[in-house]
Amino acid sequence: MLPVNWIEPSPYQARTVFDDTEIAALAVSILQNGLLQPVSVRRLGMRRYQLVAGERRLRACRLAKLEKVPAIVSDFDEGQTAALGLLENIQRTQLDPFDTARGIREVIRLWGCTQAEAARRLGLSQPALANKLRLLSLTPEQQQLCTLHQLTERHARAALRLPESRRTAALQKMGEEKMSVREADKLVDAMLASPEKPSPCRKTVPMVKDVRLFVNTLQHAVDMMVQKGIGATTSCTRKDGCLEYIVRIPVNGTAEEAPAGAPPVAPAEAPEASDGAVAAATQAPQEALV
């Protein structure tokens, strides 16, 4: 029986998100029935132990205000500690695919071994391990999109077939439309069949990273319209110290000339906006340029 305040968290904990409701329910169960399975720790020094496995149980015990918990003290090194913590999470509760990939990358670093050896020791096939590590090719923002929309590892792997610049738009659409894996694959196939048209601003005007992100997002939206058969076009110019990005969307879906003598099509009514609001919506400020 170890005092709870003698046990330090593991620096190799793969899981980054814990369900507070789930931890609270576990705390109630522990108060009523006791901790049925001890946590695993390794000794660091006098009155100092490091958790090896049982993060959720330890959090629940702390929430239940227990002073001591049953613990199994084992002589593990850092590599074993990281691997066992990862395996517990994989085997007990489904781990976020990106947390899993980061955990695998960490144990490979600690073990100093090849992917084939790591796969054998973790009980995975080498292709499965390699596929999990490939998920880390997505940017942190793209990983957050997957987590936010609860997209699976297979959704993320489908997006990896696209060029980096088109993955965000694909993941956003998969999440917003709650696509199945099959639908996600079809979306990626359609995007690959439609070559990406570079934004007219991308290579012609230097700009800081944040502005480039917004310009790329606009272009992604236009790309999606084009894939649906809408003849949208874009143009980008520098004017009055600003970027002016114009998107033209034909009202009938295709860019056709109006017949001679036909009255102009009235735009849909919209709330009036001040000149400053219009400028803010269509132009990037000079301070954003480099």
Q: Is residue 34 part of a domain?
A: yes
Looking at per-residue pLDDT, the higher value among 42 and 260 belongs to: 42
Angle value at C-alpha 201, between 197 and 205, nearest 5 degrees: 145
235 lies in the same domain as 289: yes
Q: Is residue 62 part of a domain?
A: yes
Residue 13 reports pLDDT greater than 50: yes
Instruction: Tell whether pTM > 0.75.
Output: no
Q: What is the CATH number of the domain that holds 10?
A: 3.90.1530.30
Task: Give percent of the chain above pLDDT 70.
Answer: 71
Residue 272 reports pLDDT greater than 70: no
pLDDT band at 184 (very low <50, low <70, confident <90, very high): very high
Averaged confidence pLDDT in the chain:
75
pLDDT computed for residue 259 by the predictor: 42
pLDDT computed for residue 14 by the predictor: 61
Spot the catalytic one: 8, 22, 55, 183: 55
Query: What range does the domain containing 158 cover?
Result: 138-193
**Structural domains in the chain (count):** 3
Residue 128 reports pLDDT greater than 50: yes
Q: Which of 146, 175, 193 is the last residue of a domain?
A: 193
Q: Is residue 28 part of a domain?
A: yes
pLDDT computed for residue 281 by the predictor: 37
pLDDT computed for residue 213 by the predictor: 72
Residue 158 reports pLDDT greater than 60: yes
15 lies in the same domain as 85: yes
Q: Is residue 264 part of a domain?
A: no
Residue 133 reports pLDDT greater than 80: yes
54 lies in the same domain as 81: yes
Q: How many CB atoms lie within 10 A of CB 280?
A: 12
Q: Is residue 125 part of a domain?
A: no
83 lies in the same domain as 33: yes
The pLDDT of 262-286, averaged and rounded, is: 38
Residue 34 reports pLDDT greater than 70: yes
Looking at per-residue pLDDT, the higher value among 181 and 244 belongs to: 181
Q: Is residue 8 part of a domain?
A: yes
Look up 8 and say whether it is catalytic: no
Radius of gyration of the CA atoms of the chain, in A: 27
142 lies in the same domain as 217: no
Residue 113 reports pLDDT greater than 70: yes
28 lies in the same domain as 77: yes
154 lies in the same domain as 202: no
156 lies in the same domain as 78: no
pLDDT computed for residue 1 by the predictor: 92
The pLDDT of 184-199, averaged and rounded, is: 79
77 lies in the same domain as 165: no
205 lies in the same domain as 290: yes
pLDDT computed for residue 142 by the predictor: 92
Q: Which of 95, 122, 156 is the last residue of a domain?
A: 95
The pLDDT of 157-161, averaged and rounded, is: 92
pLDDT band at 266 (very low <50, low <70, confident <90, very high): very low
pLDDT band at 254 (very low <50, low <70, confident <90, very high): very low
pLDDT computed for residue 283 by the predictor: 40
201 lies in the same domain as 289: yes
Q: Is residue 271 part of a domain?
A: no
Query: What phi and psi, each to the nearest 5 degrees, are found at residue 112?
Result: 60, 40
Q: Is residue 131 part of a domain?
A: no
- Would you say 242 and 200 are in contact if contact means Cβ atoms under 8 Å apart? no
69 lies in the same domain as 12: yes
pLDDT computed for residue 246 by the predictor: 82
pLDDT band at 233 (very low <50, low <70, confident <90, very high): confident
Q: Which of 193, 217, 240 is the last residue of a domain?
A: 193
